[in-house]
């Protein structure tokens, strides 16, 4: 059986004299070459994760970025090149490929220097150009108030073509949050709020929890510095007592796991500050070690061994009923797999335990990045997005975003990415992920826009329920439809998800446009009758369309609707239908 040790106990690997000699030679070479010297940590990190990576491309990417950004400074006073280099380092630490790191080095060149996208394409190839273009913000002077919304829309569309765009954007935001202290207070708060509402949810949807946790805490510190400082102090004090408080629990667990011949590693894992703050509602006085940390059990074995380990944990420490969550049989939307349980520690405190095997661990920490790293870059492309169960949310986001104007897009995006996820089943056993508070109507629109629009009710776990009924995890929902059914404006009172609200609002707008067009046409028919002009004949001959085009309307119905709403006067229109 593998020994179960606390995290950090394994000693550092011994290095051979030859390895040390190579490192010294590399250090001397770096000193002679300033570019290689600057990029040396990046090369080491990239080589560790991707031994076959192209170091020459990284050197060339850095050289171009440094030359273009030369003379530009960050708010901290540091040379600007330190930012793209730091972003590339974050990505290298996650094991991303050479192309992604080169794009990270160049990600601000098109936005902040005379370097063009065409030049990126010519110098570094189409793949790097696509990634750089995807993370390049739209020009604020040209787009005005629409710039932020359209930039996020552009990122979403680019991520559908290659998910690495979104991974680079998250690393970029993480480094900006790390250096946010150099910005004025009002900018810090606004930037942090936008990060928590838009970028952190993207990290969670992609399962990149290593980024999410740090972004959470940095945004928390910027938005509520006093509360963050209090949480930091409370957690620090609580963690000092983990050895004493959790020691007896660890002893019992090691013994129980040994009896079941389950091998692995047991870690005391501190929780991140924002999670503790949110769970306790900011009341952290008297925070106990069991509330500031949880146990992570990494199993050497398969899925079945995880369940054996769960039984051993429950044999050693009394489980709290209703607190076992099986994310192995039913993974989260981002393919996260683990068993979660809450037990009573020997001193009587509730203690959370997470159990997973070593194959699950990289996905639990790095999410889609682990898939990209293991399967190659192809898993990040459009074909993979269309076929991946953990990316259904992105496909649905793409489906509704095109119908929403800039002013409403960010609000819809925030709602669509809102935290709290509910796993609802179709009668065929398919899982549909919805935000907390979602209704049967939201479920209907998640299946298809047509299903939502024609829905008249639902069966929840076999029982009749209204469309306004809130659905919960584990519910089996069947939508009842009517071929003649249609959306109602009343639905907006309980539709939660962006796809549902967008389609309902679009249907209402279309219906009103039709009603206005009909009313406008009826008014024009009556007015033209007095001039002995038959509108039906004018329409058949194309005269009405010609009048509409002359007045700047693409369609006849648009002209009629404008007449109904008062945007176009009757006198103006009648003068165009002169029988002479």
Which residues are marked as active site?
111-112
Strand partners, 259: none
What is the bridge-based pairing of β-strands 339-344 and 350-357?
A: antiparallel
Bridge partners, residue 269, by sequence: 294
Between the alpha carbon of residue 570 and those of residues 101, 526, 552, the distances in Å are 62, 11, 16
Question: Rounded to whole angstroms, what are the CA distances from 155 to 101, 167, 178, 285?
Answer: 18, 11, 22, 41
Q: Is 11 helix (H, G, I), strand (E, B) or coil?
A: coil
Distance from C-alpha of 150 to C-alpha of 406, rounded to nearest angstrom: 6
CA dist., res. 315 & res. 481, Å (int): 49
**Which DSSP category does 43 fall into?**
H
DSSP helix/strand/coil, 237: helix
End-to-end CA distance of the chain: 101
DSSP readout, 407-433?
HHHHHHHHHHT-S-EEEEE-TTS-EEE
- The angle at the Cα of 315, spanning 322 to 327, to the nearest 5 degrees, equals 45
Q: How far is CA 190 from the centre of its chain?
A: 19
Are 296 and 267 a contacting pair, CB within 8 Å? Answer: yes
Distance of CA 74 to the CA centre of its chain: 27
Distance CA(559)–CA(556), nearest Å, equals: 5
CB 309 within 8 A of CB 265: no
- Is residue 324 within 8 A of residue 271, CB to CB? The reply is no
Cα–Cα distance between 374 and 377 in angstroms, integer?
Answer: 9
Calpha distance 2→386 (Å, rounded): 41
CA 250-357-377 angle, 5° bins: 140
β-bridge partners, 465: 458
CA distance 32 to 318: 63
Cβ atoms of 293 and 240 within 8 Å: the answer is no
Provide the phi-psi class of 335: left if phi over 0, else alpha when psi is between -120 and 50, else beta.
left
Nearest to 257 by CA among 353, 323, 337, 336: 353
Choose among 220, 235, 131, 230: nearest CA to 177: 220
d(CA 54, CA 146): 39
């Amino acid at each position: 059986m593998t020994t179960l040790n606390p995290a950090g106990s394994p000693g550092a690997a011994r290095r051979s004299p030859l390895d040390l000699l190579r490192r010294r030679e590399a250090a001397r070479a770096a000193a002679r070459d300033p570019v290689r010297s600057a990029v040396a940590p990046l090369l080491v990190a990239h080589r560790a994760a991707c031994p076959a990576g192209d170091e020459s491309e990284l050197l060339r990417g850095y050289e171009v970025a440094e030359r273009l950004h030369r003379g530009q400074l960050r708010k901290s006073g540091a040379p600007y090149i330190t930012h793209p280099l730091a972003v590339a380092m974050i990505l290298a630490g996650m094991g991303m490929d050479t192309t992604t790191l080169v794009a990270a080095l160049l990600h601000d060149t098109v936005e902040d220097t005379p370097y063009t996208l065409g030049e990126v394409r010519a110098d570094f190839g189409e793949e790097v150009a696509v990634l750089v273009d995807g993370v390049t913000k739209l020009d604020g002077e040209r787009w005005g108030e629409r710039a932020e919304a359209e930039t996020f829309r552009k990122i979403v569309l680019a991520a559908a073509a290659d998910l690495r765009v979104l991974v680079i954007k998250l690393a970029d935001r993480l480094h900006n949050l790390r250096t946010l202290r150099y910005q004025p207070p009002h900018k810090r708060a606004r930037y942090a709020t936008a990060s928590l509402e838009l970028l952190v949810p993207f990290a969670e949807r992609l399962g990149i929890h290593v980024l999410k946790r740090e972004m959470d805490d940095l945004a928390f510190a910027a938005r509520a510095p006093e509360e963050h400082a209090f949480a930091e102090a409370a957690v620090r004090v609580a963690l000092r007592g983990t050895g004493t408080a959790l020691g007896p629990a660890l002893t019992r667990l090691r013994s129980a796991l040994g009896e079941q011949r389950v091998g692995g590693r047991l870690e005391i894992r501190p929780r991140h500050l924002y999670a503790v703050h949110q769970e306790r509602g900011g009341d952290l006085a008297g925070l106990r070690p069991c509330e500031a940390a949880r146990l992570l059990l990494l199993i050497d074995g398969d899925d079945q061994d995880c369940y054996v380990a769960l039984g051993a944990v429950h044999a050693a420490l009394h489980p709290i009923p209703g607190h076992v969550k099986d994310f192995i049989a039913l993974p989260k939307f981002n393919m996260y797999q683990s068993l979660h349980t809450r037990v009573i520690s020997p001193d009587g405190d509730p203690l959370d335990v997470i159990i997973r095997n070593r194959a699950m661990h990289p996905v639990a920490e790095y999410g889609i990045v682990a898939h990209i790293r293991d399967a190659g870059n192809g898993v990040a492309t459009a074909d993979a997005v269309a076929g991946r169960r953990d990316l259904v949310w992105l496909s649905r986001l793409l489906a509704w975003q095109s119908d929403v104007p800039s002013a409403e897009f960010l609000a819809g995006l925030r709602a669509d990415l809102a935290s709290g996820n509910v796993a609802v089943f179709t009668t065929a056993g398919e899982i549909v992920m919805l935000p907390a508070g979602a209704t049967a109507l939201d479920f209907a629109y998640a299946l298809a826009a047509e299903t939502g629009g024609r829905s008249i009710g639902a069966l929840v776990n076999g029982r009749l329920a209204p469309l306004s009924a809130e659905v919960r995890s584990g519910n089996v929902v069947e939508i009842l439809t009517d071929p003649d059914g249609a959306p109602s404006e009343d639905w907006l009172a309980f539709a939660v998800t962006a796809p549902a609200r967008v389609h309902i609002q679009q249907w209402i707008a279309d219906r009103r446009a039709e009603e206005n067009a009909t009313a406008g046409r009826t008014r024009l028919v009556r007015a033209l009758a007095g001039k002995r002009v038959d509108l039906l004949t004018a329409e058949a001959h194309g005269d009405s369309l010609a009048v509409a085009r002359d007045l700047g309307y693409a369609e006849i119905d648009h002209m009629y609707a404008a007449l109904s709403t008062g945007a176009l006067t009757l006198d103006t229109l009648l003068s165009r239908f002169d029988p002479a």
